[in-house]
Structure 1
């Protein structure tokens, strides 16, 4: 069978993690970011599934050849995960193996689910690789602000509730983010039009969430916010971590213009829950 762990028991899964791979399951297991964990055995887990708090993936950790876990996985998805996903308006699953060995297992387990694959790239950057000379100039109508308590509570900012909602997709509370995360936003008058912040953190590594409003794209605002984020990471002796789909050429371009270097890539599996 498959059971859910209480948060205070997540530590039991630490030895199942591939710490040379994905940041997100590490951050959940370490209790930094929000998420849920399902395992084969509450006391001595050997295989598990980490559901990220922002609903952006189910990461499979531990032994991929665990017959006990694998036998129950599809019924567990149908009988439990589907119902839980509906509560948060999630209509599909993104499944990711925390090691390459999981790819074969996931293909076998989901072969009847009409899944599709996608390729994901992961980049990291050391401070000596940072291309600070390529930082773009920002148009005078915009200002850049640190994502601090003042910004997130300012009543005159028309859309800071949207930003807070974005933060709370992966952080348990805004206070947790303010204490541990790093973030910058770009303002057009009283509106946030671009942001870059830590959505997952493991040790000294900060995973980047970055977004620009559609009507403001093409004005290098994401690059400007990312430069501010990267500089603050290095000021705090943190390591920035960037990932995006292989098809997202715009995101790849921004990452490489900052100096990010390929770290690893992986395959994801996606299928509908309907």
Structure 2
């Protein structure tokens, strides 16, 4: 039987995390970022499934060969996950193993579903090529600003589209207080509107996962490159490590990462199937 842990019980899963595993898994288990955790045993779990709080996927942790857990997964997803996913408009199950031994198990467990897959890349800073002091020219009319409580609260209503900033940050954080306590971020402002964001989406220890978003009509002006560079420099100034995670098909994101001097250090596989189709 697969059961859900209360947040104050997440610590029971710390030893299930791989040292080389996903940052997001550790961020949820350590209580920094929101998420839900389902395990095989409430007292002494040997494996589990993390549902990221921003609905950006599920991560399998622990022993990939737990037959009882694996046998129950499909029914659990259909009876527990699907109704909950419907409430938040989530239509796809995107699953990733916290270590690559899960790949074989995932393919076997979900072999009767229309299972798709993709490659995911993780970029980290390469100090041999990263140019800290290189300043990038910012397009006319745009202003690079560090995200602070004043901007987030927007008490003077100076930012017209403040919900763009707030909603993006609160997708990954349970509150603005948690974000400002643990994360950092930068934004680009144009005519009193936030048009591009780069901030800590997940944090574990001193490693910060980069989340970046630019409004479509403002793309192609190297705004993402500018705020990403500011974000990485801030990390270096304050003993933080930036981690850039994106799909292999996301060429614009890869271009930004590589242009500012980040290096692809890990490639792993993700799996997906529709939550609306029956097996």
Q: Which range, TM-score by smaller chain? A: over 0.9
Aligned partner of 2:44 in structure 1 is 44
Distance 1:13 1:255 in 2: 32
Tell me which moved more, 45-54 or 16-25.
Answer: 16-25
Q: C-alpha root-mean-square deviation of aligned residues, in Å?
A: 1.1
Is residue 39 of structure 2 the alignment partner of residue 29 of structure 1? no
Report how far residue 140 of structure 1 moved.
Answer: 2.8
187, 190, 193: which is aligned to 2:192? 190
Q: 1:220 aligns with which of 212, 219, 222?
A: 222
> Does the alignment pair 1:237 with 2:239?
yes
> Is residue 118–residue 270 contact of structure 2 (8 Å, CA) maintained in 1?
yes
| Corresponding residue for residue 74 of structure 1 | 74
Counterpart of 1:200 in structure 2 is: 202
Structure 2 CA distance, aligned partners of 1:42 and 1:157? 46
Give the whole-Å Cα distance in 2 for the aligned partners of 1:266 and 1:134: 31
| Partners of 1:16 and 1:61 within 8 A in 2 | yes
What per-residue deviation string (whole Å, max 9, x for no partner) do you get for residues 107-163 of structure 1?
A: 001111101100000011155642235542002301011111111111221111121
**CA distance in structure 2 between the aligned counterparts of 1:127 and 1:149, rounded to whole angstroms:** 31
After superposition, residues 1-274 of structure 1 pair within 5 angstroms as 1-125=1-125, 127=127, 129-132=129-132, 134-154=134-154, 155-274=157-276
The CA distance in 1 between the partners of 2:269 and 2:15, in whole Å, is 23
Structure 1: gaps spanning 5 or more residues: none
Write the distance in 2 (CA, Å) between the matches of 1:174 and 1:127: 32
- Work out the CA distance in 2 between the residues paired with 1:127 and 1:33: 28
> What secondary structure is seen at the aligned counterpart in 2 of 1:168?
helix
Does structure 1 retain, via aligned residues, the 8 Å contact 2:172–2:201? yes
How far, CA to CA, are the matches of 1:135 and 1:114 in structure 2? Answer: 47
Q: Distance in 2 between matches of 1:7 and 1:126?
A: 36
- 1:9-33 deviations in whole A, cap 9, x for unaligned? 0000000001212100000000000
Q: Secondary structure at the match of 2:201?
A: strand
- Paired residues of 2:20 and 2:99 also in contact (CA < 8 A): no
Counterpart contact for 2:164–2:194, Cα < 8 Å: no
- Name the TM-score, length of structure 1 as normaliser: 0.97
Task: Find the aligned partners of 2:226 and 2:215 in 1 and give their Cα distance.
Answer: 14
TM-score in terms of structure 2 length: 0.96
Q: Tell me if the contact between 1:127 and 1:234 (Cα under 8 Å) persists in the aligned partners.
A: no
> What runs of 5+ residues in structure 2 fail to find an aligned partner?
none
